[in-house]
């Protein structure tokens, strides 16, 4: 389905959704990557959540020797994020959020999730979005916009709940990058949780259980 200008995979609950999770995949993956995680979350029946998994655009990726892949922004060999690409993708995700708002979901019931590159984008959009969102779920990722925290751009989501998780043996994005982002957010006064697991650049079952508990805490029940 096409929502805004990004193609998406969408999973809708049996009941009318009371919240939406927009989940952004990592470099080289697509919207189907985290689709199987939804049933593993085992969310209760009284918390019907709609999940939207957009596909990133295809582009040449420097870290892949210039080969085309789905990416939210170009990744250089030094692991740096291309600012122009990040800004463009952030605009696309904001359009996606606006689409959900136009369909009747309040901004404060929309949560952004992202893995790796997708987590960078979730931070970029969520921390700077002009309306209060439900939360940010940032997995195996890092922060590139720390210098703007506390500015007028981030005022609306200064109190946004944040869940961060990282693998202790992550060789793609070392855990030190994630921990630095956590320290930055914590120092800026954000309500951020940190979780680490004995794994690489991936997701584990214990992490999924913790994510589920956090989502239930943040999104609450239908009542």
The whole-angstrom distance between residue 158's C-alpha and the CA centroid of its chain comes to 17
The whole-angstrom distance between residue 101's C-alpha and the CA centroid of its chain comes to 18
For residue 11, list its beta bridge partners.
Answer: 51
78 is catalytic: no
Tokens of 2: 């096409």
In angstroms, the Cα distances linking 216 to 59, 204, 209 are: 36, 19, 11
- Going by their DSSP bridges, the two strands 161-167 and 191-197 should be labelled as parallel
- Alpha-carbon distance of 27 to 34, in angstroms, equals 13
Long-range contacts, stretch 96-100, CB < 8 angstroms, 24+ apart: 96/3, 96/4, 96/6, 96/8, 96/22, 96/52, 96/54, 97/22, 97/125, 97/129, 97/133, 98/4, 99/3, 99/4, 100/20, 100/22, 100/52
The catalytic position among 116, 140, 145, 166 is: 116
3-state DSSP helix/strand/coil % of the chain, to nearest 5: 35, 25, 40
The catalytic position among 55, 132, 195, 201 is: 201
25 is catalytic: no
91 is catalytic: no
Which amino acids are annotated catalytic?
116, 170, 201
């Amino acid at each position: 389905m096409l929502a805004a200008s990004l193609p998406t995979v969408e999973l809708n609950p049996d009941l009318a959704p009371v919240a939406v999770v927009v989940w952004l995949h990592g470099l080289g993956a697509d919207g189907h990557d985290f689709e199987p995680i939804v049933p593993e979350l085992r969310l209760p029946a009284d918390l019907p959540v709609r999940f939207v998994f957009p596909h990133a655009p295809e582009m040449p990726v420097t870290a892949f020797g210039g080969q085309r892949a789905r990416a939210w922004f170009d990744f250089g060999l030094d692991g740096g994020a291309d600012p122009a690409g990040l800004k463009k993708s952030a605009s696309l995700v904001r359009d996606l959020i606006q689409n959900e708002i136009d369909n009747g979901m309040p901004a404060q019931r929309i949560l952004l999730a992202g893995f790796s590159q997708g987590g960078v984008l979730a931070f970029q959009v969520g921390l700077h979005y002009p309306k209060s969102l439900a939360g940010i779920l940032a997995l195996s990722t890092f922060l590139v916009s720390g210098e703007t925290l506390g500015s007028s751009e981030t005022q609306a989501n200064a109190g946004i709940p944040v869940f961060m998780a990282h693998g202790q043996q992550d060789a793609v994005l070392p855990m030190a990058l994630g921990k630095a982002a956590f320290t930055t957010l914590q120092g800026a006064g954000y309500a951020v949780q940190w979780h680490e697991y004995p794994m690489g650049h991936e997701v584990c079952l214990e992490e999924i259980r913790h994510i589920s508990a956090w989502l239930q805490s943040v999104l609450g029940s239908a009542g």
